[in-house]
Structures are given as C-alpha cells and as structure tokens.
Amino acid sequence: MKALCYQGPKRIEYGQTADPVLSADTDAIVAMTSCAICGSDLHIYHGSPFSQDTGYCVGHEAVGEIVEVGKAVRRLKVGEKVMLSAAVGCGQCVRCLAGDIARCERGGAQCYGLSSALQGCQAEAIRIPFADFNASPIPDGLSEDQGLMLTDNLPTAYLGCRNADIGPGKTVTVIGLGPIGLMAVEIAQVLGAARVFAVDLVPGRREIAKGLGATALDPATAMQEIAAATGGRMSDCVVEAVGADATIQLGLMLAGRGGTVSAIGVNTNMDFRFPMAMAFGKSLTFRIALCSVQMYWPELIPLVRAGRLHPERFISHRLSLSEGARAYELTDTKKDGALKMVMTP
C-alpha cells in the first residue's frame, strides 16, 4: 500500500510499504477514507523524540471503512464506516472499561505512528488492535469530517478545558490557537466561561478566535492586557495547547491566585524550569494529561450533533495523501492559513 513514512527529520515521504495484516483475533483492518495531521505529529517531523526507528507509517487521526476483522471482533462489521481513537487501550482492564485508556493497566495507552510497533494511519490502511474498543462507527447525524475531529483533537481540547476547571462565570485563557486551541475556545464558551482570552503569535489565528467571541491577544502583551481587563485578578483557568517551554511558563504567569493551568501540548524537555515559588505563592493547580479519547465521546457526540460545537470548521486544507510532504510543511510553517490538514489516500 501507499503511506506517509518517517524517514528522518523533515522527511515524511510518500511511498510503498507493507500492507497491514491481522496479528490477533481482536484486530481489524481499516481502509482509510481520510486522515489528518495533528500538531503532535510535528514532534516526529522535527526528529522523533519517541523512538530511533525510521520507515514506519505516521499519523493517528483517521476515519475509514472496516475491510477485515479478526475472529474475536464482535461489534464492528466489514463495510462499516468507523472513526479511530488516536490512543489505543487494551479495552479489557478496569480503567479501559471505564473509558480511561490513558491509564490502561496494561502499560498505559499506546499511540499509532510513533514507531513501527504500531503503524500510523496516514496510509491507505491500518491495523487496529482491540478493534471493538479502539474504533467506533461514525455516529448517526455526524459527518465524516466531524468523526475525524473526534479521533483526537476535539476530545483533547475538551480534556484540556475540563482539566482547567472551566465552568460558569470563569475567566479563561487559551494559549496556542491551532485547531485544538480554537476548539478549546469554543468548548470553554459551551462550558459557561464568562470571558475567553485567546493568545497566539499568528494574527490570522487570532482573527479566527475573535470570530468565536474571544478576546484575542499577542503573547507579548497578554500579561498586561489580561491584568488590565481583570483588575489584576488574571485568569481562573488556563488551557495551554502548544507544549513549548515558553507557553507553559506563560500559562503559569497568566493564571491568577487559586487558578488552574491545564497543559495538553506535548513537552519532552526533561529540564523544564517550573516556577515553583510563583506556583506556591498563587496556590496554582497544574495538570497535564494524555487524552482518553473514548471517555469523552458520550459527551461530545451530542454537542457536535446539536450544533453546539463545530470542530470541522478548523479544517483549512484538503490534499491527497501523495501531497503529504507539503501538508507537513504547511502545518509546520503555518503558511497559507494552515490549520487542520485533511488528506485522502
């Protein structure tokens, strides 16, 4: 089959690779109808911090059609249209059964496309382990694009907001207005935020956040502007959706006394300088977590179906999988209004 494979820093190449095969009775094979690039794929693009491996398929967000199932797959049927969960649980332990796959007792959730141990989905087909649990039919009333946003970005944005303790009347700041940050702006309003500040370097992204009803700010002036707008109280809740040292530190600065900072970007810096005294002085809560995608589907699917959340509106480009190298470059450089790239094999 054809796939996008990681061949080294800034080398995501379209080429021929082995077809996926069933390796357990609980597996299924899905033929992709569309797949997307996630901000976290850029960590691999810049030289993977996750493994030394090369030549494996990348990507963890996809929708497609079941083309083959193992003998023990009960729920999914050949021909069914499904959405994947970006993170993979065993589906059998107590934590998975409660939907909390990030804490799967068989070693935590795995993710597609980080090494050849679990091939990614920016490909014509993929093997889904414990398929009954790690894929789900696209819900009635939802488009394929909406299903694709439910594979990772929307649940991750939602986790970020829940972990930030967003609720009625809160002042919220979202840092980083990529697709996940913009989804967090929309979710914060649905969860009752009184005011949302949206912070990003890119003017075009700030404009989109403004269109969603947020007060858009440049990171350089966010501190003064939020202080002025809140009478010095700053933010009750901060969602950090970048994962860079500087943006996590900014998030800790922008939180007020007793505030909560929730990080959902991937940071792999072992030497991160956490401003402990400031966090202590302000009695901050800091949370960081990987999303248990399936856990949030029962809450998010009705919100999308009812038109309260519109995650598909952050799709900026539709390309063929063969144009994958360009899609990565656009995601990386943020040129041409790049937000969410959707690719079709």
Contact footprint for Zn ion (CB under 5 A): 38, 40, 89-90, 93, 96, 104, 152
Q: Report CA-CA distances (Å) from 94 to 23, 85, 101, 135, 296.
A: 24, 18, 10, 18, 17
Single-letter code of the amino acid located at 332: D
Instruction: For residue 264, give the H/E element and its range.
Output: none
Tell me whether residue 129 or residue 251 sits nearer to Zn ion (CB atom).
129
Q: Which residues lie across from 14 on neighbouring strands?
A: 4
Q: Which residues lie across from 199 on neighbouring strands?
A: 175, 217
**Smallest gap from residue 304 Cβ to Zn ion (A):** 18
Tell me whether residue 5 or residue 88 sits nearer to Zn ion (CB atom).
88
Single-letter code of the amino acid located at 309: L
**Smallest gap from residue 253 Cβ to Zn ion (A):** 26
How far apart CA 26 and CA 133 sit, in angstroms, is: 9
**Smallest gap from residue 194 Cβ to Zn ion (A):** 30
Q: What residue is closest to Zn ion based on CB?
A: 38
**Smallest gap from residue 106 Cβ to Zn ion (A):** 5
Instruction: For residue 307, give the H/E element and its range.
Output: none
Tell me whether residue 34 or residue 40 sits nearer to Zn ion (CB atom).
40
How far apart CA 310 and CA 139 sit, in angstroms, is: 15
Residues 224, 226, 228, 230, CA torsion sign: negative
Given the DSSP bridges, would you call strands 28-36 and 125-128 parallel, antiparallel or unpaired?
antiparallel
**Smallest gap from residue 288 Cβ to Zn ion (A):** 15
Tell me whether residue 91 or residue 256 sits nearer to Zn ion (CB atom).
91
**Smallest gap from residue 45 Cβ to Zn ion (A):** 13
Tell me whether residue 115 or residue 235 sits nearer to Zn ion (CB atom).
115
Tell me whether residue 239 or residue 284 sits nearer to Zn ion (CB atom).
239
- Are 44 and 54 in contact, with CB atoms under 8 Å apart? no
